[in-house]
Homo-oligomer: A and B are copies of this chain.
Amino acid sequence: MASPVTPPRGMRDFLPGDKARREHVLGRIRGVYRAHGFDEIETPVMEDASRLHAGLGGDNEKLAFAIMRRALTQDDLRSAETALELADLGLRFDLTVPLARFYASNRGQLPSVFRAIQIAPVWRAERPQKGRFRQFVQCDIDIIGEPGVLAEVELIAATASALEALGIPGCSIRLNDRRLLTSMLTVLGFTSASHADVLVTLDKLDKIGTSGVLAELRDRGHEAGAIEALAAVPAFASFGAEAASPDHDAPAAGVALTAGSIAALLPAGVDEQALADLAAIAAAVGHLAPLAFDPFLVRGMGYYTGAIFEVAHPDLGYSLGGGGRYDGMIGRFLGTEVPATGFSLGFERLIDLVELPADDGEGDAALVYDRDVDPAALMALKSTLIAEGARVRLVQRPKNLKAALDQLAADGFARFAAVTAATGQDASALDWRPLESSR
């Protein structure tokens, strides 16, 4: 056939080894989150198109795969103004919009503080590039209904435990609070209307440095006095020095996280509650994971309303996950405000960092049988071994036995036995040989 047999662009097949590895890592994450009191839920992969395009998904909304209405006529095509009119559903681009819809639909059956696990694929029609896929798995935990910092504390503790269980050492958690960002901008003299725009520029600090940020703010026409005041903020003024130091990857690491130490990095007059909350979070989880206050951590999504955090790894140029408080959003589908916090682990980014113990395959057995063996006798042997607890694979004796045995060893089988027409059905009479090295 003419069409290529590769998966669709930007998507992947997982062979047995990859699949086993992924499921093993997901199982560990799931186990940790469950131990921390979270419960797994599942929603359909698709949502109503109107919900996916309700403004809660930021730039990701444009990347949604659209599903065409069924039974469209040529007239429907002719009369449509835009392609989106022909779509009634779309594939989810994140797990947060579906969670908000799920909570609105099912809250009567959920506890008043609901701790959700969602481990599932999402789809984005991005230009594929190295390490970025059009179908990828997200691992989210969310706490809905808890207004206090205990929610942030539980999320960070669960995340730190998950990273520990995965054996990814050296991660730190960068913390900030949206209320600190916006109150700081107000104090510096940026108008409320300009905050969103200023934050977009500030979010580039890691990439373009302080001079780049100041230049871009000037280019975009922001108030000169406010820009000058930003340049004088202690944490901003010292950012370049830190960036040039070997400690670049852990910005502001080593700063003890108390309300006073945080305030000292910022202009006077920032949000007091946010300072107190960050200090309370640090006091509760500082011993579980290295924390770093990052006054210029912004995180892209516009829906954050309080504390925000990211997992930083010293060897990587990107974060392994992030989250924060988003009190306004869950209620959008309910008409009432519902406090919420969430954390999303970038599964595709961390899977390659995880070192798994080699599968010892203890007991896993291969039966290498001759072509003329009776299927009933062979099946009887296999059934007996499975009943004894073994994983059993049948392999017809090939010309190149050594290559087949090497393959079995690579697939985790520990032993093999030959089965001939004379062997019979007595599994205890099999002559086992080890498979660690081929012979």
Chain A residues in the interface with B (C-beta under 8 A)? 1, 3, 5-8, 11-16, 19-20, 22-23, 34-37, 39-48, 50-51, 54, 65-68, 70, 72-74, 76-78, 80-83, 86-87, 89, 91, 101-102, 104-106, 109-113, 115, 121, 123, 125, 135, 148-150, 153-154, 157, 161, 280-281, 283-285, 288, 332-335, 375-376, 378-380, 382-383, 386, 390-396, 398, 407, 411
A82 lies within 8 A of B89 (CB): no
B13 lies within 8 A of A44 (CB): yes
CB distance from A280 to the nearest CB of B (A): 6
Q: List 24 A-B contacts (CB under 8 A).
A: A3-B48, A8-B44, A8-B46, A8-B89, A13-B41, A15-B109, A16-B41, A19-B41, A35-B391, A36-B386, A36-B391, A36-B392, A37-B392, A65-B68, A65-B89, A73-B83, A111-B407, A115-B393, A149-B375, A150-B394, A154-B379, A154-B382, A283-B375, A284-B378
Bound: A41/B15 CA distance, A: 5
A35 lies within 8 A of B285 (CB): no
A11 lies within 8 A of B46 (CB): yes
Residues of B within 8 A of A102 (CB): 13
A86 lies within 8 A of B83 (CB): yes
Select one of B1, B66, B375, B411 contacting A54, CB under 8 A: B1
B65 lies within 8 A of A76 (CB): no
Bound: A70/B383 CA distance, A: 51
* Interface of A (DSSP majority class): mixed
Assuming A68-B87, A86-B83, A113-B396, is B45 touching A13 (CB within 8 A)? no
B7 lies within 8 A of A333 (CB): no
Pick the most buried of A87, A333, A382: most chain B CB atoms within 10 A of its CB: A382
Assuming A109-B15, A157-B379, is B74 touching A81 (CB within 8 A)? yes
Bound: A29/B12 CA distance, A: 24
Of all chain B residues, the one with the shortest Cβ separation from A70 is B125
A284 lies within 8 A of B135 (CB): no
A86 lies within 8 A of B86 (CB): yes
Bound: A40/B391 CA distance, A: 14
Pick the most buried of A39, A82, A379: most chain B CB atoms within 10 A of its CB: A379
A43 lies within 8 A of B7 (CB): yes
For the complex formed by this chain, how many copies does it contain in all? 2
B68 lies within 8 A of A101 (CB): no
B77 lies within 8 A of A80 (CB): yes
Residues of B within 8 A of A135 (CB): 44-46
Residues of B within 8 A of A379 (CB): 150, 153-154, 157, 284-285, 288
Bound: A48/B10 CA distance, A: 12
CB distance from A308 to the nearest CB of B (A): 18
A45 lies within 8 A of B392 (CB): no
Of all chain B residues, the one with the shortest Cβ separation from A73 is B83
Assuming A83-B76, A396-B113, is B65 touching A42 (CB within 8 A)? no
B112 lies within 8 A of A398 (CB): yes
Residues of B within 8 A of A395 (CB): 111, 113
Of all chain B residues, the one with the shortest Cβ separation from A78 is B78
Of all chain B residues, the one with the shortest Cβ separation from A6 is B105
Of all chain B residues, the one with the shortest Cβ separation from A389 is B35
Residues of B within 8 A of A285 (CB): 379
B45 lies within 8 A of A3 (CB): no
Known: A19-B39, A65-B70, A111-B395. 10 other contacts (CB 8 A): A3-B48, A7-B105, A13-B42, A13-B102, A15-B41, A37-B391, A45-B121, A149-B375, A150-B394, A288-B379
